[in-house]
Structure 1
Amino acid sequence: MSIGEVLSELRPDFPDTTISKLRFLESEGLVEPERAASGYRKYSRDDVARLRFVLTAQRDQYLPLRVIRAQLAEMEAAGATPVALRLVGADPMPDDDEPAELVDTRCSRTELLARTGLADSSLVEIERLGLIVCRSPGWYDEDALSIAAAVAGLAEYGIEPRHLRAFRASTDREVGLYAQLLAPLARQKDPAARARAAETAHELAGLSQALHAALLRAGLRDILER
């Protein structure tokens, strides 16, 4: 398969995947496609299975690439094949007769409210607080949908949007900290550098989420054990 064919096969399950990202994963040693005499990359089914494993570990477990690389090495040392790796760590390959459709995560205001159960007044408030941004020309992205769903869930416990100011302030501080790390890579015109910046951002987000969850669990445990 060519790199374009691989991208077409992976995108239904991993919409954010790009050719630059596939090249970046190759540069990191996570996949090693063969090269035709003309120099073009030629991917096997095993290569695609390996990519699925990597992308699934990133998406579902927020694992850094070094951890994924170590997992692959351990499994291969145990005699696992790339197909087995896919079955253990990733979603099944889409059926060739029933290709998966790309999911459009954009939604209108009405759709966002219907899908999350968030009250319109609450949406107005969290937009005012800067927790959600409406993209031009009037649609909301996947992150906005996730935020709205979380706010709606918290509302069931009596936590109102006005209580969430601290979340916005804390996130802004994190963004400022990580921006210092990402800016040098993001400013480069080299696609590989920009892909590395995107991967680093993904890993930082996952690590921050894990840290926040652990700190929260630890704090709540102290309260529950009193």
Structure 2
Amino acid sequence: MSIGEVLAHLRVEFPDTTISKLRFLEAEGLVEPQRTPAGYRKYSWDDVARLRFVLTAQRDQYLPLRVIRDQLARLDREDDPVARQRPALVAVGPEGELPGRDADREDDAAPDALLSRTELVERTGLAEGTLGELERLGMIVSSPPGWYDGEALIIAQAVAGLAAYGLEPRHLRGFRTAADREVGLFAQLIAPLARQNDPAARARAAETARELVGLSQQLHAALMRVGLRSTLGR
């Protein structure tokens, strides 16, 4: 398969995957497609299975690439197939919808789609006043003005869920403060790569950011569980 064909297969399960991402994973030695005499990549079904293994480990476990690389090396030594079955071909509906997904479901919206203010309020159940307060606190930003991206939707949904337990936006200022501190810390690690003109360096910067966010989420969740043990009597 060509790299475009591989991308089409993987995007069914991993919609954020790009050709740049596939090239980056190759540069990192996680997959080694064959090359035609003209230099074009040709992927086997085993290559696709390896890529699915890598993308699943990143998405579900937030594993750094070096850890995934070690796992693949161990599986290769053990001659483990790494679940290298031929991936099932998925039929696409007349409107481009995927089977098993309701085209009207809110959480299946394209990640780069923009929502109007009215749509954001309707999808999350937030009151207009609450959304305005979140914007004043800097927790939600509309860009361009009056339009909201997927991250704004996630934040609004989380705030709406917390509101069901009686938490108001004013209670959540600490979340924003803590996030800003982490952003400043991680930006120092990522900026040297992101400033380079080399596409591979920028891809590594994006990958590093993703890994740092995942590790931060794991750490935060673990610390919360430990902190609540005494309250739960455990």
TM superposition score normalised by structure 1? 0.88
Structure 1 position 142, deviation (Å): 1.8
1:57 corresponds to: 57
| Equivalences, count | 221
Alpha-carbon separation, structure 1, partners of 2:180 and 2:148: 20
1:159 corresponds to: 167
Q: Does 1:8 align with 2:16?
A: no
Q: Which of residues 176, 179, 183 is equivalent to 1:171?
A: 179
Are the counterparts in 2 of residues 12 and 103 from structure 1 also a CA contact under 8 Å? no
Alpha-carbon separation, structure 1, partners of 2:194 and 2:145: 26
Output one character per residue of 1:80-101: Cα deviation in whole Å (capped at 9) or x when no partner.
324x2579xxxx6452566765
Are the counterparts in 2 of residues 14 and 55 from structure 1 also a CA contact under 8 Å? yes
Q: CA RMSD in A?
A: 2.3
Are the counterparts in 1 of residues 46 and 85 from structure 2 also a CA contact under 8 Å? no
Q: Which AA in structure 2 matches 1:60?
A: D
Cα separation, partners in 2 of 1:68 and 1:93, compared to 1, 3 Å: farther
Runs of 4+ residues over 6 Å off in structure 1: none
Structure 1 position 55, deviation (Å): 1.3
Q: Which shows bigger deviation, 47-56 or 106-115? A: 106-115
Are the counterparts in 1 of residues 45 and 85 from structure 2 also a CA contact under 8 Å? no
Alpha-carbon separation, structure 2, partners of 1:119 and 1:86: 48
Q: Which AA in structure 1 matches 2:57?
A: A
Note the residue ranges of structure 2 that are not aligned, 5 or more in a row: 99-107
Note the residue ranges of structure 1 that are not aligned, 5 or more in a row: none
Higher relative contact order (CA 8 A, sep 6+): 1
Give the SS at the match of 1:20.
Answer: helix
Structure 1 position 109, deviation (Å): 2.2
1:70 corresponds to: 70
